[in-house]
Structure 1
Amino acid sequence: MLQRHRVIAVITATVVTAAVAGCSADDEAGGSPNTLVVSAFSFGSEELQEAVIKPFEKATGYTVKLDTGSNSERLTQLQLANGRPDSDVMLISDYYAALGQSKDLFQSISADDVPNLGKLSDFALDDKYLGPAYTYQLDGTLYRTDKLDAKEAANWSVYSDKKYAKKTAMPDISVTAGQLTVSGIADTYGSGPYDIDTAYKTMASWAPNTLQFYTSSTEVTNLLTQGEIVAAPAISAFATDLIKSGEPVSWVAPSKGKYMATNRLMIPKGAEHLKAAYAFIDYYLSATAQTKAAEVIGDMPVNPEAKIPDVLGKVAGKAASDPVAAGFQTLDPDTIVDHRDDWVDRFAREVSSK
């Protein structure tokens, strides 16, 4: 686990040289020490500006340039930068954070540089990652409340029920809910979250009666609101706006096989503006920013001092404040990175093509 009271960061040669020369890493890099580039997801970027970036700029005097794109696009760009990244902080999902670490693209973060690390929930400080989680996503079932009750929707068997033939959807393994769903089914019907053989055999038997394997949040929410499906495995965040809008849709955690993903704050190796990067991460992990991000973006907070909006509590219950106590587990990043390419190929052959 990221240590709260000792330095775990490996100081780069650039920073050491700058310190000896009596100047900051920001000055050495030739950029403005009061500016930083934050790389984030395209989806929700306006809400990120409102909830975190603008208040951070006002509170600290720093200026933030936001660079957006998908996980894979941004990680590829970082790899091509060859140690001279265009960004100082990267908001990225846990799998891609781990993949980047395997390519030596990120540096570790110390509680000495980011004091709010000491205030986070334990699961946000997993020592398998060089950077902390700033939010998490719970996998479960989105369902129409006029067609199913919560108990029925919480059981994976709803996807094999002939009564709902062609009235359910499943996530493609490429989306966040995809791997979480595969592992939930593997745990429920097999020997554990990495029993991919059992998971794929089970999902292949459901595939002929599955209307669609979706690849975006828009796809699955449209299918639900238009009444084309009654249920689909999905992350809890998809339910927030639907519930706010009054749609007959809710979300429920599975009765067994509960898994969650995290989004993490990472600093690329060679980042030009370390001081600013540390300040941004520390601000984002504060109770103030975590509360605002929960309200505006719908992020589940990892700082226990943050306030949980009513709608998040309505969607996720106890898991909105303590997912581990609610039975959710994270997946081992090393296992996922080692097997991901093979599992993606097999999913296309053995599941979604059926």
Structure 2
Amino acid sequence: MARPVMKRNAVWVFGAVTAVLLAGCGGPGGSGGGSDELVVSGFSFGAEEFEKTVVAPFEEETGIRVTFDPGSNSDRYNRLLVDRARPDVDVVLISDLFAADGEREGLFTDIDPGSVPNRADTVEFARDAPGQGIPYTFTLPGVLYSTDAFPDGPPTVASLWDPELAGRIAVPDISATAGIPFLIAVAETFGSGPQDVDTAFAKLAELKPNVLQFYSSTTELLSLLERGEVVAAPGLDLFAYDAVEAGRPVAWAPFDRGRVLSYNKAEIVEGAANTDGAQRFVNYLLSPEVQTRTATAFSDKPVNRAATVPPIMTEVSGGAATDPGAAGYVPLDLDFVGANRGAWIDRFAREVSG
């Protein structure tokens, strides 16, 4: 018996940038045969634009009817856990950390390499990423800064501890996307390497009196930067796109030490009713045409090397926008982070932000 098709929801895309879940329709726990229905689940931000830019053209091209189901990473992940015996989703587009958790939990299944030929045209980290799913977009942690305060170039990680910046910096909460990458950058800068988090936590505790705000809201951070109350803050490159395009005195630069990237991954759910359609959708998502459209529509940096990015991406992010590896970026060590993230969140609240 076919699963009931959820009513298409339009609410979504990346936060300042992006992730999507598509969920499939058809018989529960099916063998993955040729259903003409697919359920995709993804991020709430930019959902309506994602449906126009990605979903509708896929439906027209393939004849597969797609139901799009947006939500936060945590809400969608928890629903997968609850519904694992009878999943109602075929494709999940989700952040790297949640994807790794889901793979360890057995929520996802392998993607047939022969079904995704577009993967061969992706940048190295996406082509060689371990696990079951495939990265389809990425973002770059670094430092956002006021060009009025730093006319001669960006601050370094170590310079955030400069007494002259006391009360004029913001730091991401560790649960924010830039939070763990900043922890790694501090470990690289002051410790023995990226896993020396004890040194990093000690340095962040030392920095605490100088921090105007530990932020989780991008809107709030940009407001502080544009008003000049904050002159430097670790954050994602895409946060700067609109401000730079509008001519405001804000810029972004990669960390000088400890460059790790974050990415979103396309996963196929274990027990999905339409695995054939799901694999077709993942390959479509990796195509240069779709990657170009999503880069333009909501600032998703593409992994396909043949995709074209809008000028603001290269203006702000430089060559890392199209070749992060050449710019010194590597993916997070998801096994290391996954094993320690819960303890780090508690420790950050206790020793740093509390």
Q: With the length of structure 2 as denominator, give the TM-score of the two structures.
A: 0.88
* Partner SS for 1:201: helix
Separation in 2, partners of 1:211, 1:50: 40
Cα offset for 1:150?
6.0
What letter corresponds to residue 321 of structure 1 in structure 2? T
1:177-326 map, 5 Å = 177-326=178-327
* Partner SS for 2:303: coil
The alpha-carbon distance between structure 1 residues 113 and 25, as it changes in their structure 2 partners (threshold 3 A), is: farther
The alpha-carbon distance between structure 1 residues 118 and 152, as it changes in their structure 2 partners (threshold 3 A), is: closer
Which residue in the other structure is 1:11 paired with? none
Separation in 2, partners of 1:314, 1:255: 18
Asked if 1:108 is matched to 2:110, the reply is: yes
Cα offset for 1:50?
3.0
What letter corresponds to residue 45 of structure 1 in structure 2? A
Which residue in the other structure is 2:168 paired with? 167
Which residue in the other structure is 1:18 paired with? none
Cα offset for 1:334?
1.0
Which residue in the other structure is 1:345 paired with? 346
Corresponding pairs, count: 329
Which residue in the other structure is 2:79 paired with? 77
Cα offset for 1:137?
1.0
Separation in 1, partners of 2:29, 2:104: 29
Cα offset for 1:293?
0.8
- Of residues 38-47 and 197-206 in structure 1, the stretch that sits farther from structure 2 once superposed is 38-47
Which residue in the other structure is 1:7 paired with? none
List runs of 5+ in structure 1 lacking aligned partners: 1-23
The alpha-carbon distance between structure 1 residues 102 and 150, as it changes in their structure 2 partners (threshold 3 A), is: farther
Q: CA RMSD in A?
A: 2.0
Separation in 1, partners of 2:111, 2:34: 22
What letter corresponds to residue 352 of structure 2 in structure 1? V
Separation in 2, partners of 1:258, 1:62: 40
Which residue in the other structure is 1:20 paired with? none
Separation in 2, partners of 1:256, 1:151: 16
Separation in 1, partners of 2:298, 2:152: 25
List runs of 5+ in structure 2 lacking aligned partners: 1-25
What letter corresponds to residue 334 of structure 1 in structure 2? D
- Of residues 178-187 and 122-131 in structure 1, the stretch that sits farther from structure 2 once superposed is 122-131
**Deviations along 1:184-221, whole A, 9 cap, x unmatched?**
11011111112110111111111111011111222212
Cα offset for 1:90?
0.7
Identity of aligned residues (%): 43
Which residue in the other structure is 1:124 paired with? 126
Separation in 1, partners of 2:185, 2:307: 29
Separation in 1, partners of 2:51, 2:220: 25
Asked if 1:47 is matched to 2:49, the reply is: yes
Cα offset for 1:26?
8.5
